Amino acid sequence: MKIGKMSTGNKQSVMEKEVNEPSGLDSQGHSDIAEFYAGCEVLITGGSGFLGKILIEKLLRTCPKVGKLYLIMRAKKGKSSDERFKEHFEDPLYDRLKEEQPNFAGKVVMVEGQLDKGLELSPENRELLRNSHVVFHSAATVRFDEKLRLAVNINVRGTKDILLFAREMPNLKAFVHIGTAFSQCVTKFIDEIFYKPPIGSDELLTLLDILDDETLESITPTILGKWPNTYAFTKTVAEDTVRKYGRDLPLCIVRPSIMIATAKEPIPGWINNLYGPTGVVLGAGMGLLHTLHCDAKNVADIIPADYVINNILAAAWDIGKNQGKIGGPLKPLPPPVLSSKASEPNPAEDPPIYNSVSSCQNSITWGEFMKYNEIYGMEVPSKMVFWYYFFHLHPNIWVHNFYVVFTHLLPAIIFDTVARLTGREPVLWKAYKKIHKFSGVISYFSTQQWSFRNDNVIKLWDKLSEIDRKLFYFNLSDLIWRDYYYYHIRGLRVFVVKDPLDTIEEGKKRYRLLRWAHYTVVSLVYLFQAWLAYRILYFFFSLIMSF
């Protein structure tokens, strides 16, 4: 079928090609997974995030008999939770849902709360949410440079609080915690098991309670130890929280690797953020980013977000089918025992973990990733592009820094100086400060290599019926990366840059001018280098001849 319309100011189709998308339940036949969600009350944390939005859309569209969806939201950036909820469904992501399930709004309920502050649910809302059958816990702060206190409060304390609340739910069928495949990034081979955390979750929470902000900030590097940032650190401790406080609950963990734009549903190429490699592609494509500390030969463990969502929905179905609802009171949790050592995982009793990664079945390198984006990016240049595309991956930090000086910093000084002399605001130096901070943060992941096991994911796929494999696809072996990037680059242009595809010709015209300017500058630089080399050689030759 043809790709649906998009609301990016003027509605438009993102791409001209056709893509085979799963149709709704009625046209496919009986779905075991969709049937599992029929009548289920579903609680979703992190519903306003990238992954949460796709999860909500997929559930409502593919499982039309699902019960209520409860979204925990809070006030943010000057907007109340009600205002954020109203804006939530204005995203073009939901256009297809509005066409296929026009009455979906009656199924979605916003509940005000905050995960970093003990949920902060009213007694009425708490009682309402106790009736939930399925919980998807995806709320997290994903900033690598987040302050440790906030990262712990959201990623660890929030996880503990939602698990304790889940223990009050008498009808709970499945609890899915969304982790990250890189929570164990200090280990080069990452299996689908729990690992011993650097510190127990209760010990970490106690530490935060007794330390003031200044002291905590000063010892954060010591607390993090081998972990590269507060995000990876708190996500690994969060898994320890799940293991401790999820005891006897029907739960699992899904660990996605680096999530990028959707491959098929509901819109190929949908993305709403600039995290990780998406930011690299945009920076390079707009002509701002010209070098990155990265090994082009390393595997880029990236995965389209819709594949992750289908893995999550199938995992909840499998947990619910095998473990069912709790049935009867839970065993009381033992009181937390504070010690300097975290408890050891027990694979025989621990809940299942799914490494939702691409490298095991369909790997792609960073070099291939950038090359595909370059190929398709050249076809649809934005009218907002700053400079002609030239970009290199450098595994050697010194070579990378050399390129930073001559392709980022010197041009920034020149452009900003001209801007000041002509009465305009200098912006390029500030832009590069942000770019270099971003590239420095991700270099840990772009210069190293990890291996994963995903046997549980493959076993889960084998359990799906043919209909469910069409509706809830997550077999990475079927993905053709080259075709994927056709949609990826167009989605980035439309949804992030906000540049509609009907301006492509305007973008190409600007791009031709920038290409001429680029090669003119390159030619002048080479001429200057040749002249400089000539002068140096002439000086030494004259010096020799004088003797």
pLDDT on residue 531? 84
Residue 94 CA, chain-centre distance (Å), reads 19
Which has more pLDDT, 150 or 348? 150
Mean pLDDT, residues 395-416: 92
- Whole-number percent of the chain with pLDDT over 90: 69
- The mean per-residue pLDDT over the stretch 352-361 comes to 95
Whole-angstrom distance, CA of residue 430 vs CA of residue 300: 29
Instruction: Report the chain's C-alpha Rg in angstroms.
Output: 26
Rounded Cα distance between 133 and 67, Å, is: 10
Does residue 445 have a pLDDT over 80? Answer: yes
Q: Give the CA distances from residue 101 to residues 19, 60, 61, 81, 109, in Å, rounded to whole numbers and listed in that order.
A: 21, 8, 6, 24, 16
Distance, in Å, from the CA atom of 71 to the CA atom of 129, rounded to the nearest integer, reads 10
Q: What is the pTM of this model?
A: 0.89
Considering only CA atoms, which of 319, 322, 303, 148 is closest in space to residue 220? 148
What pLDDT score was predicted for residue 327? Answer: 45
Chain position carrying tokens 């650190």: 233
Number of residues assigned to the chain: 547
261 contacts 491 by C-beta, under 8 angstroms: yes
Q: Is the pLDDT of residue 489 over 80?
A: yes
pLDDT for the residue numbered 118: 80
Q: Region 146-151: what's the mean pLDDT? A: 94
Taking residues 311-319, report their average pLDDT. Answer: 97
Residue 72 sits at φ, ψ, to 5 deg, of -85, 120
**Domain 34-275+299-364+449-477 bears CATH identifier 3.40.50.720:** yes
Q: Which residues of 111-122 are buried (b: 16+ CB within 10 A; e: fewer)?
A: bbbbbbeebebe
Report in angstroms the alpha-carbon separations of 442 from 10, 99, 224, 421: 35, 39, 17, 35
Three-class HEC string of 172-205? CCEEEEECCHHHHCCCCEECCCCCCCCCCHHHHH
Write the pLDDT tens digit of every residue in 99-125. 998 888 889 998 888 887 788 888 999
**Mean pLDDT over residues 435-455, rounded?**
92
428: closest CA among 438, 418, 441?
418
**Residue 112: beta bridge partners?**
73
Average pLDDT over residues 382-401: 93
* CB of 447 closer than 8 Å to CB of 284: no
Q: Mean per-residue pLDDT for 161-175?
A: 94
Question: Over 60: is that where the pLDDT of 13 sits?
Answer: no
The predicted-structure confidence for 255-313, as pLDDT tens digits, reads as follows 999 999 999 999 999 999 988 899 999 999 999 999 999 999 999 999 999 999 999 99
Q: Which of 401, 317, 308 is nearest to 356 (CA)?
A: 308
- Of 273, 170, 171, 207, give the one whose Cα is nearest residue 496: 273
Going by DSSP bridges, is the β-strand pair 10-12/6-8 parallel, antiparallel, or unpaired? Answer: antiparallel
In the block, tokens 């400089």 appear at 532
pLDDT tens-digit readout, 370-387 = 999 999 999 999 999 999
pLDDT in tens, 43-77: 999 988 999 999 999 999 999 999 999 999 877 66
pLDDT of residue 7: 42
Residue extents of the structural domains in the chain: 34-275+299-364+449-477, 382-445+501-545
What pLDDT band is residue 483 in, cutting at 50, 70 and 90?
very high
With the C-alpha atoms ordered 29, 30, 31, 37, is the resulting torsion angle positive or negative? positive
Higher pLDDT, 6 or 408: 408
Q: Return mean pLDDT, the chain.
A: 88
pLDDT at site 530 = 84
Mean pLDDT for 439-464 is 93
Kindly state the DSSP code that residue 15 receives in the 8-state scheme: -
Q: Looking at the predicted structure, is the pLDDT value of residue 172 above 50?
A: yes
Q: Say how far residue 297 (Cα) sits from the centre of its chain.
A: 22
How large is the average pLDDT for residues 476-486? 94
Task: Kindly give the pairing relationship between strand 258-260 and strand 302-304.
Answer: parallel
Higher pLDDT, 340 or 334: 334
Q: Which amino acid is at 348?
A: A
User: How far is the C-alpha of 179 from the C-alpha of 272, rounded, in Å?
Assistant: 20
Percent of the chain predicted with pLDDT > 70: 89
Contact in structure between 408 and 436 (CB atoms under 8 Å): yes
Beta strand residue intervals within 35-86, DSSP E: 42-45, 69-73
Please check whether residue 236 is in contact with residue 161, taking contact to mean a CB–CB distance below 8 angstroms.
no
Confidence of residue 324 (pLDDT cuts 50, 70, 90): low
User: pLDDT at residue 347 above 90?
Assistant: no
pLDDT at 498 over 70: yes
Contact residues for 540 (Cβ-Cβ < 8 A; gap 6+): none
Tell me, what's the pLDDT at 9?
42
pLDDT band of residue 5 (cuts 50, 70, 90) is very low
Extract the tokens encoding 251: 């739960």
Residue 340 reports pLDDT greater than 70: no
Q: Which two tokens stand for residue 451?
A: 């291996």
Res. 199 pLDDT band, cuts 50 70 90: very high
**pLDDT higher than 60, residue 314:** yes
Burial classification of residue 532, based on how many CB atoms lie within 10 Å of its CB (0-12 exposed, 13-18 middle, 19 or more buried): exposed
Across 502-516, average pLDDT: 92
Amino acid 115: pLDDT: 82
216-227 in b/e burial notation, b at 16+ Cβ within 10 A?
beeeeeebbeeb
Which segment of 276-280, 464-468, 469-473, 528-532 scores lowest on mean pLDDT? Answer: 528-532
